[in-house]
Structure 1
């Protein structure tokens, strides 16, 4: 039996840009809609739920089609050159609006438009306008999908850390925490104009750090190690020690390490850290090697690697 796009275990849909809003100097908010989003659904809070967006090739305009897609679509898509199929990138669902066929996804996109930071996502977001079309992959109600890495034990102290690429995930997590949650979020952004208001429990502090031209991740690193009680701690991370695909959670290890496979206990701190891979690698070494954080209580995710093109 052939499984078509409408019956795949995930949403594979052609959607339309409903609205575009320049939130801050670095962030553009894009609202995406289409009848297929009526079938979106996850069990429990969305937290840092990831989805995939497939952008047209910036040079050729080449774009994938969902017409006639079946269970072989992924292999078929990979076989085509990027100039024809477009480029896939990962984003967080910032909000879900409406219901049924009028369901829309809100996606906040970072504009990295200088030097080696430029990518197909930023390029597309900088030009997006209502009526533009794009392809997305997202969870379908009633089917396993994954894509949520924020999995603390109930009652754990929370430590959330990220640069601008993690802002949508961190803010979405904060808005969905239970009222009795406690912890601290450290968020680094390019400029003070990127600081955003966010709903959060009274017991959770948010520390915004604006680089204002300083080196990426330095202020974030220093603030986090001071918070952890090891102020001034430094760690050297050589370029060849950085895994551009860094992804270490209680349930998966990009390096092949043994994983915990479960979340244990409610005492102590649960850490969720995402952003540029070298910065995340340095913080991981402090938490795991120096402070002895248990693998079941940490999630380290390299959302991007400076100077390295992400895989499409």
Structure 2
């Protein structure tokens, strides 16, 4: 690793062009991005649940002219008038490929197209065509700080992953980047059985899809996860109603609630838990795992990717 790479910002702002668009299921559209600047982005082979931010064009359709090579590209972005910046949203990488022709990044967009629920990202993805441009913020390739990755099972013998359709791409990437000896189970709640997409999981890992149909978010995920963990009275649990606009974000190394982070010690059990999706659902599962079932918070990553009824930003 070069000294220059070590001293520069661990994140880069890149220009990316749409190379392909595929409607892979009723709820998902897969967009493939390419471009020479993507050769600076990401951690090939160790993507896991890495997060990137995508800047979509404003109503004019023209991305703001920002000096992306500057170390202060974030300041340059913020200096652009708000109505000219476009919209920035956070996504997981479904796949990052490095070939002789360069780097390509696949992102699976969940389409929320119902009246009143459709945001700028869903509308953009639904209308995306080859040649469209966006800007992507992500970890700088070759940087020792693997920014945006929360997956850290350490020495856990088994793992449990749980999430909704927004977490499915990260779960898929985690499983496909993990060693073949990984053991455990993943529960993924999606709108319909047609949204169950292929995942090349390790041979000893079980992936269980949960189609909720017209039921609310979490209606299948919460009772299934808790029943798996031995809570047989989980069927009537209501999703926690969260005040404010913040999402929950609690990992072994960070607490959005301001809880004390204990020094890393040997885990109390052999299982690591990774849970992501709608914040109310994630908070409900956190409460039962940590408070009712006694799971050590140092063994769990709880991440609210979005909030029901709240337009997410950034």
Q: TM-score, normalised by structure 1?
A: 0.90
How much has 1:41 moved relative to structure 2?
A: 4.3
Kindly report the root-mean-square deviation, in angstroms, between the aligned alpha carbons of the 2 structures.
2.3
Distance 1:116 1:268, change over 3 A: farther
- Conserved? CA contact 2:240–2:283, under 8 Å: no
Distance 1:197 1:24 in 2: 11
Residue 156 of structure 1 corresponds to 157
Matches within 5 A, 1:59-74: 59-61=59-61, 63-67=63-67, 70-74=70-74
Gaps of 5+ in 2: none
Distance 1:304 1:45, change over 3 A: same
Distance 1:86 1:116 in 2: 20
Which among 248, 255, 280 is matched to residue 278 of structure 1?
A: 280
Distance 2:268 2:45 in 1: 19
Matches within 5 A, 1:1-312: 8-42=9-43, 45-57=46-58, 59-61=59-61, 63-67=63-67, 70-99=70-99, 102-143=102-143, 144-233=145-234, 234-236=236-238, 239-241=241-243, 244-260=246-262, 262=264, 264-265=266-267, 267-312=269-314
Distance 1:309 1:273, change over 3 A: same
- Conserved? CA contact 1:244–1:308, under 8 Å: no
Distance 1:265 1:240, change over 3 A: closer
Distance 2:37 2:264 in 1: 33
Gaps of 5+ in 1: none
How much has 1:263 moved relative to structure 2?
A: 6.7
How much has 1:71 moved relative to structure 2?
A: 3.4
How much has 1:265 moved relative to structure 2?
A: 3.7
Distance 2:273 2:306 in 1: 19
How much has 1:186 moved relative to structure 2?
A: 0.4
Count of residues paired in the alignment: 306
Q: Indicate the SS of the match to 2:124.
A: helix
Distance 1:247 1:190, change over 3 A: same
- Conserved? CA contact 1:156–1:266, under 8 Å: no
- Conserved? CA contact 2:242–2:280, under 8 Å: no
Distance 1:206 1:274 in 2: 15
Q: TM-score, normalised by structure 2?
A: 0.89
Which region of structure 1 is more displaced relative to structure 2, 46-55 or 253-262?
253-262
Which region of structure 1 is more displaced relative to structure 2, 221-230 or 114-123?
114-123
Superposed CA offset, 1:142-196 (max 9, x none)? 3225111110023431110000000100011111222221111000001111011
Distance 1:261 1:60 in 2: 50
- Conserved? CA contact 2:64–2:80, under 8 Å: no
